[in-house]
Chain A
């Protein structure tokens, strides 16, 4: 216990008496951590945006005007049995008219035309697939011979092509983001490792003197490892603290940029706050402890 307290005391003395080195090491670790975390958050933002965009694609199945509810239900049941279909929404003739009127409530011309006509709209099904690339197969299935008497038209959303392009582009971007994040993580690890190695290097003479006086490896190593862990804790705390204003700044602007597509990065951050902090904390502490242990090994062996 006495040795433990002395180790802790020596660790804090190391931090305090090398204040500039401690500051520089903590700063580098903080920047490395912050960079990687921001990249991961941007990844979350991009993935969320992609999901929202993908969710906007659907397939509309328009039935002939005189199609009965039973005929619609047959198609519906067959669609439900398909594994690539996610959801099916039925819109009756009456519902379709109501929605149309609501959409054009500010257009008196359309309103007066509708008053004079009998309901010209058809019953329909809105089909959502699991992934955008499954729409073609569903469309082919619905346009087959067996439904020709019931289904008048199968209409993929006008945005489908744009969305498909976006999907493939975003897919590439997502993969790229993963690789970039990985690359930056490696850079962050190397920078942190070298910073700590440099910090230990400045102590190499002290290490050799301690050995000459008869200090055990534990008494030499542990204060320096603890000091490195302390830098890591402070760096993780600083990084998490700075994420608050960054997320507050990025969140609304990202949503404004994406228009209708809204991804709540702020909620994501606050919902996963402890996870983010703990992940940074663990990453930084493990890195610091491993780096300092490796860096010290050569001086302890001499």
Chain B
């Protein structure tokens, strides 16, 4: 299937912080169409959320009126207690969950208007890491990582070059032929990260990637994510691990009860 092509481009005005102006604003430079435009300059908005809400029933909100902007190259921790809305937000960003109100732009895609048939193409431009790894249990380590390239129609030669390089980057060289059940939790998460990063996405979303790991393995995973961020990829890390967030000294967005309560440039876990 051919990759979808862009349809329209919406140019945004300079940002006005007043709620009224924000309501009428049309967001960053985005396309409601399919293929992202030429790579934006470093520092351009990569994720723009405007008044995002996700309602369950009449008065129950998983996410309530959340607006934020994440720029290229940032490493952002999204923190909050269980049920704060972290996973809802990350699921919206990867196009897994529909929003009830507001608008969401990710890497040039208007996720709020994303059609089902375009989701695969959208997903190919981001990388996702989950707490439960979500590896393909019947594929080897090599095949798991290669699958992210296969879905993009990458040629065999590229797969044979990129996959070993990526496995070396995450410290899994020599374990290519193992199956997920033959790996430790930390190794599984490294495979998941390698798969999420092998196609060099501009955005990597990690939803509680250390949730199933002990402290030592957890920090190793964070170090891999930091390495990926150094290579230019924006990392959005959803976590409730206070120690990790405090050690990172990076931007921290705090959610509580579905609302954004704090956004610190160099923040700490404060709840």
Contact = CB atoms under 8 A, between A and B. Distances in A.
Contacts of A13: 138-139
Contacts of B155: 2
B39 interface: no
Contacts of A212: 94, 96, 123, 128, 134
21 contacts: A2-B153, A6-B150, A13-B139, A205-B137, A209-B136, A210-B136, A210-B147, A210-B151, A211-B119, A212-B96, A212-B123, A212-B128, A212-B134, A213-B123, A214-B120, A214-B123, A214-B124, A214-B148, A214-B152, A216-B151, A218-B1
Interface of B is mostly: loop
B48 interface: no
A14 B138 contact: yes
A215 B136 contact: no
B120 A211 contact: yes
A3 interface: yes
B252 to A, nearest CB: 26
Contacts of B135: 209
B195 interface: yes
Interface residues of A, number: 21
Contacts, number: 53
A208 B150 CA distance: 16
B138 A18 contact: yes
A289 B122 CA distance: 29
A206 interface: yes
Nearest to A207: B136
A219 interface: yes
Contact of B138 (A206, A215, A217): A206
A213 B147 contact: yes
A219 B156 CA distance: 16
A219 B146 CA distance: 14
Contacts of A2: 153, 155-156
B138 to A, nearest CB: 5
A17 interface: yes
Contacts of B119: 211
B51 interface: no
Interface in B77-112: 94, 96
B217 interface: no
A13 B139 CA distance: 9
B18 to A, nearest CB: 38
Nearest to B123: A214
A3 B151 CA distance: 9
Interface in A1-25: 2-3, 6, 13-14, 17-18
Interface string B153-175: 10110000000000000000000
Interface in B202-239: none
B61 interface: no
A209 B148 CA distance: 11
Contact of B1 (A6, A210, A216): A216
Contact of A213 (B121, B138, B151): B151
A212 B94 CA distance: 8
B151 A214 contact: yes
Contact of A216 (B120, B122, B139, B147): B120
Nearest to A217: B120
A221 to B, nearest CB: 12
A159 B271 CA distance: 100
Given A212-B96, A215-B151, 11 more contacts: A2-B156, A6-B150, A13-B139, A17-B138, A210-B147, A211-B123, A212-B123, A214-B124, A215-B147, A216-B1, A219-B151
Contacts of A3: 153
A209 B96 CA distance: 12
Nearest to A215: B151
Interface in B42-60: none
B121 A214 contact: yes
A208 B128 CA distance: 13
Contacts of A206: 136-138
Contacts of B148: 213-214
A217 B138 CA distance: 19
Contacts of B120: 211, 214-217
A212 B153 CA distance: 16
Nearest to A302: B96
A216 B2 CA distance: 11
Nearest to B147: A213
A210 B134 CA distance: 9
Contacts of A17: 138
A219 B149 CA distance: 13
List 10 tightest A-B contacts by C-beta distance, closest first: A214-B123, A214-B124, A215-B151, A17-B138, A209-B134, A214-B120, A214-B151, A216-B120, A213-B148, A206-B136
A137 to B, nearest CB: 70
Contacts of B123: 211-214
A3 B128 CA distance: 23
A37 to B, nearest CB: 33
A270 B138 CA distance: 43
A229 to B, nearest CB: 19
Contacts of B96: 212
